[in-house]
Chain A
Amino acid sequence: MHSIYKRTTAALAMSVALAVPAYAELTGELRIFLDTSNPAPRATMEAMIDRFAAEHPGLEIETTVIDREAYKTQIRNFLTADTPDVATWYAANRMKPYVEAGLFEDVSDLWAEPEIAENLASTKGAMTIDGKQWGVPYTYYQWGVYYRKDIFDELGLSEPTTWEEELANCQKIVDSGRACYTIGTKFLWTAGGWFDYLNMRTNGFDFHNQLANGEISWEDDRVKQTFANWKQLIDMGAFIDNHQTYSWQEALPFMVNGEAAAYLMGNFAVAPLREAGLSDDQLDFYQFVAINPDVELAEDAPTDTFHIPANASNKEAAREFLRFVVSADEQTEINNGSNLGQLPVNAKSSVDNDKFLQQGFNMLSSNSPGGVAQFWDRDAPAEMAKVSMEGFQEFMVKPDNADRILAKLERARQRIYDN
C-alpha cells in the first residue's frame, strides 16, 4: 500500500522528461559538486536537488558547494581523485581540456533520447566536441545592448538595426555631451564582448570560431576590418573615458547617472541597474546591430553545464539527475525570476515574464541564425584569450596602435596553437 502511494506521488511529481524511461529504483550514493556558491543560486540548486531526492528516496545524495573561483582550480584535482558523480562546469572550449583528457563522460546517449534531442537543440552545438556530447546545459543568458530608453526618447532616437543607424545614433548621443557606451575594461573580458560582436557581425560566426581556434591570422584583412569598425566608435568618443580603471560594476554608475546611454553586457547587468533605481520604462534592450549584411546574426549566450566525470561511481543515478535538470518543469523553475533569473535551455519550458528575459529568449530562439557563441574567453583557449583581451583593452585606449597589437596577437597565435 505504502509503495503504491509513493509511486503515484512520484509519478505525479515527475516531469514529462522523466516519464519516458521506466527505471528501476535508484540506490547508492550520488555526490554532486556545485560551483554555485552565492546564496541565491545556491538555494536554487539545493532546492532542485531536494526535489530530485524526494523522487528517489533510495538515493543518498551528498552535495558539496565550492566557491566559484576555487572550483576552477579544484576541478583538476577532483576529476582525477575522489571524484564526484556530477559536477558543474561551462560549455564549449572551457570543457575541452577535460574532454580531451578523458575526464568527462560521453553522454551522447542522453542526447539521443527524443526528450532531450528535440527540446535542447539550441545548445547542442555548445555541448558537442568531436561529434559527441559531454554534458547538459542548465542555464544560459543573452548578451546585447542595454540602453537608457529615456535618453533615446529625449534625443529622438530609435533602436538601431544597421551600422549606419548605430553610428548616427551615437553621434547624436556624443553631441548631447554623453558617451554612447559605458564599459569597464579593468578585468579585460568586457572588451572581449565587444570584440565578439564586432567580429561576428563583420565576418560571421564561422570566421569568429576559426579565429578562436587559431586557424586564421590576426593580421588577416578581415580581422583588420573588425578593428577598423571598432576604431570608428572609439574615435568618435563612443566609450567613456578611463574605462581601463573600472570593473564592469564600477562602470554601471555612468549609465545610472545618465552620463552614458548604453551598455553592451550580459543579462546579469539588469539586476543591479534595477536596484539602482532605473525602472523598466527607462531601461530597454536591443540586439547588437548588423554590420555586414552578408553575414548571419550570431549571439553570445554563455552556458553553464552539468557533467558526469569519467571516474564517477554512480553514473546511472548521475544520468537520471541530468535528465531531471534539463526537464521542462525544472528548467522553468530554476531559471525563473525568483531563482536564477536566466534563460531555460529546454524549448518546452516557459520563460519568466520578465521584459529582458522575454526579449533575450526571442532573440536567441528566432533571430540568431548564425549560431550561439559562448563568449570570447570561453571560446578561445585560455592563454590566447588572455593575450588577446589585453590587446583589445590596449586598442580601446590607443586605437592607433592597431597594427602593432595585431602583430603581437599573431605572434602569440603562432606560439600558443603550435603546442
Chain B
Amino acid sequence: MFPKPIEKQPRAAQITYQAMLPIALLLWLGPLLAVALFSVKPAADFTNANYWGLPSSFEGAVNYGQVFFNSDMPRYLLNSFLITIPTVIGAVALSCMTGFALGIYKFRSNLWIFFLFVAGNFVPFQILMVPVRDLTLELGLYNTKTGLVLFHIAFQTGFCTLFMRNFIRALPFELIEAARVEGISEVRIFWYVVLPLMKPAIAALSVLIFTFIWNDYFWAVVLTQGAESQPVTAGITSFNAQFRAAYQLMSAGSIVAALPPVAMFFLMQKHFIAGLTLGAVK
C-alpha cells in the first residue's frame, strides 16, 4: 500500500525526485512567498508594476506598524480568538458526550442518529446561508460573536461526533464492562474511564477545529459585520480603501492572520497528523 522508499528506487528515479521536489515546493509555496514579499513593499511598487521584483525599499516595519497600530487588526485578531476558542471547547465537549453515547450504548436508532450527524457533513454549507442568517436575525444574534460561535459549534459537532464515536468504538469495551461490574455510575465511567483515554483524540480534534474555525471566511462574512464582531479573515478586506486596494497592508495583515494557525500547526504537529488519520481507522 505504501510507496517504496525513495532510497530503494533506481538512481534515475531518485534524481528525478530530487530535481522535481524543489520545483514542486516552489510552485506550492509561490503564492505564500509572494504575499510575504508584498507585505514588505512600498505602495509605489504596485503603481510601478514591480509586482515580482525585489522591493524598491524595505517597508516591512511601516506596513506591519500600520497593521498593528493604525487599523482595527488587533481588534479583529482578538475577535478571532474569542470566536475560535469557545467554538473549540463547545464542539469538542459536545462531541465527547455524543461520541460516548453513540459509541457505548446499544439502542435502537443508534445507527440512524449517527448517520444523521454524518449526513450533516455532506450538506454543502452554502445552502444554509440564507436560513441561518434569518435565524440569527430572529434570535437577535446577528452581528454578534455569540451567534457565530453557536453556529460553528452546531455545525462542527457533526464532524466531531463522527470522529469521537469512531475513536470510542476502538477503545477496549472490557474497560467499561469492568467498571460497570464494580458498580460505577455511567457518568463516572465517562468522566474517569473514557475521558482520560480520549485525550489524544481531544488534542487532535482541538487542533483541527481551531484551524477550521480560524480560517473560516464564509460565515464570518455572512453572519457578522464590522470590527466589533468580525474575525480577522473578514477584517483583512477593511484595507480596501474607498479608491485603492492597499495590497501591501492586505498582505501584511494576511501574514499576521495566518500566524496563529501556522504556529498551532507547528507546535501541535503530532496531534494534527494524528487528527487527520484518527477518524479514518474504525
Residues of A within 8 A of B (CB): 36-39, 41, 64-70, 73-74, 247, 249, 252-253, 256-257, 266, 268, 271-273, 275-277
* Complex contacts, A268 vs chain B, CB 8 Å: 242-244
Residues of A within 8 A of B242 (CB): 36, 38, 41, 68, 268
State A39–B47 Cα separation when bound (angstroms).
20
B244 and A70 contact, CB distance less than 8 A? no
- Among B47, B238, B246, the residue within 8 A (CB) of A67 is B238
What residues of chain A lie closer than 8 Å to B66, measured between beta carbons? 39
Known: A276-B44, A276-B47, A276-B48. A67 touches B237 (CB 8 A): yes
Which A residues touch B215, using CB under 8 A? none
Partner of A249, one of B47, B227, B238, B239: B47
A277 to B48, CA, bound (A): 9
List, in ascending order, chain A residues with CB within 8 A of B238's CB.
37, 67
Q: A253-B47, A271-B244 are in contact. List 16 more A-B contacts (CB 8 A).
A: A37-B238, A38-B241, A38-B246, A64-B226, A65-B227, A67-B238, A68-B241, A68-B242, A74-B226, A252-B47, A253-B49, A257-B48, A268-B242, A275-B42, A275-B44, A276-B47
The B150-170 residues at the A interface (CB cut-off 8 A) are none
Q: Say which residue of A68, A73, A74, A273 sits within 8 Å of B47 (CB atoms).
A: A273
Which residues of B (107-121) have their CB < 8 Å from a CB of A? none
Name the residue on A nearest B66 (C-beta): A39
Closest B residue to A67 by beta carbon equals: B238
List, in ascending order, chain A residues with CB within 8 A of B43's CB: 272, 275
B21 within 8 A of A: no
Chain B nearest Cβ from A258, distance in angstroms: 12
Central interface residue in A65, A247, A272, by most chain B CB within 10 Å = A272
Write the nearest CB–CB distance from A401 to chain B, whole angstroms: 30
The contact string, 1 if C-beta is below 8 Å from chain A, for chain B 35-74, is: 0000000111011110000000000000000100011000
CA distance A41 to B244 in the complex (A): 13
What are 15 A-B contacts with C-beta separation under 8 Å?
Answer: A39-B66, A39-B71, A64-B226, A67-B237, A68-B240, A70-B225, A249-B244, A249-B245, A253-B48, A253-B49, A256-B49, A266-B243, A268-B242, A273-B47, A275-B43
Residues of A within 8 A of B226 (CB): 64, 66-67, 70, 74
Which residue on chain B has the smallest CB distance to residue A141? B243
Bound: A47/B39 CA distance, A: 29
Tell me if A275 and B245 are in contact (CB < 8 A): no
Q: Nearest chain A CB to B103's CB is how many angstroms away?
A: 44
Q: Which residue from chain B places its CB closest to the CB of A272 in the assembled complex?
A: B47
Q: Which of B44, B70, B225, B245 sits near A74, CB closer than 8 Å?
A: B225
**A247–B71 Cα gap in the complex (Å)?**
24
Which residues of chain A have C-beta atoms less than 8 A from B71's C-beta? 39
> Which 3 pairs between the two chains have the least Cβ-Cβ distance?
A253-B49, A276-B47, A268-B243
CB distance from B204 to the nearest CB of A (A): 36
Query: Which of B44, B71, B245 has the most chain A CB atoms closer than 10 A to its own CB?
Result: B44
**Measured between C-beta atoms, what is the minimum distance from B63 to chain A in Å?**
12
Alpha-carbon separation in the docked complex, A275 to B161 (Å): 55
Q: Considering only CB atoms, which chain B residue lies closest to A340 in the complex?
A: B242
A272 touches B244 (CB 8 A): yes
User: In the bound complex, what is the Cα–Cα distance between A65 and B242 (angstroms)?
Assistant: 13
B237 x A69 contact (CB < 8 A): yes
Closest approach, in angstroms, between the C-beta of A398 and any C-beta of chain B? 26
The CB with the most chain B CB atoms within 10 A, among A67, A266, A268, is that of A67
Chain B CB count within 10 A is highest, among A36, A39, A275, for A39
A-side contacts of B225, CB under 8 Å: 66-67, 70, 73-74
Within 8 A of A (CB), among B220-279: 225-227, 237-246
User: Do B245 and A257 touch (CB < 8 A)?
Assistant: no
- Chain A CB within 10 Å, residue with most, of B43, B48, B66, B237: B48
Give Cα distance in the complex from A38 to B71, angstroms. Answer: 8
A249: B residues at CB distance < 8 A = 46-47, 244-245
Most central of A257, A273, A275, A277 by chain B CB within 10 Å: A275
Chain B residues in 8 Å Cβ range of A70: 225-226
Task: Specify which chain A residues have a CB less than 8 angstroms from the CB of B241 in the assembled complex.
Answer: 38, 68
